[in-house]
Amino acid sequence: MKVKKTERKSVVKSVGGGRMFDQCDWSGCTVKAGPSHFIHGKAYCPQHYHPALEKHFLEEFKAWDGKERPGRKFLNLFARYTEDLYFCRNQDIPGGLSKGRINDRIFDIKKTKFCVDFSIERHPYAWKNPLKMKEVRQDWRFNVKRKQLRLLREIVLWSPPKDGIEDDLEEYWDDFNGSL
């Protein structure tokens, strides 16, 4: 069955909130927006997505008084902006952080004049080898002016006991993985 071109356009436009191929919302731009280049209801072409994301993030940073935990909009923009900065530099975000981890798991978030300080609990090796997993708290600083994320400190909250049992557990884990 053939689908008419007009029907196809309406199906494509309904994907992802209904604005997949709208014109870029950047002033004066006539290019069509990219399929995943949306910032809180506004569509942007690939060329203007990062500048628009930066603009929206900086507006939210300026509006946040720093006294209360910021709202979901700020956290979403902060996570997306941080990840996008490193993506544009062709670098991995430091410490294995990701947009999702920043958006969903940070706590003790504070604002200084040019920085966002936050903490996150991490579980290294949780997916690779749960027997080596430890729980750590990391304190990070994102310098808004320098566009840089830096680990300030890492505190081990919990780690496996060092009493010889880990050798038995390691052997068990190796056997278990070998049977998969």
Residue 39's domain spans which residues? 18-63
Tens digit of each residue's pLDDT (9 = 90 or more) over 101-111: 999 999 999 99
Tell me what pLDDT residue 180 has. Answer: 52
How far apart are the C-alpha atoms of 42 and 73, rounded to whole Å? 14
28 in any annotated domain: yes
44 in any annotated domain: yes
26 in any annotated domain: yes
- DSSP code for 143: E
Find out whether 31 and 21 touch, Cβ atoms under 8 Å.
no
Reduce the DSSP state of residue 130 to 3 states and report it.
Answer: helix
Tell me what pLDDT residue 15 has. Answer: 39
More confident residue, 34 or 164: 34
126 in any annotated domain: no
Tell me what pLDDT residue 95 has. Answer: 87
How far apart are the C-alpha atoms of 83 and 52, rounded to whole Å? 14
58 in any annotated domain: yes
Reduce the DSSP state of residue 138 to 3 states and report it.
Answer: strand
17 pLDDT band, cuts 50/70/90, is: very low
How many domains, the chain? 1
45 in any annotated domain: yes
Tens digit of each residue's pLDDT (9 = 90 or more) over 45-96: 999 999 999 999 999 999 999 999 999 999 999 999 999 999 999 999 998 8
48 in any annotated domain: yes
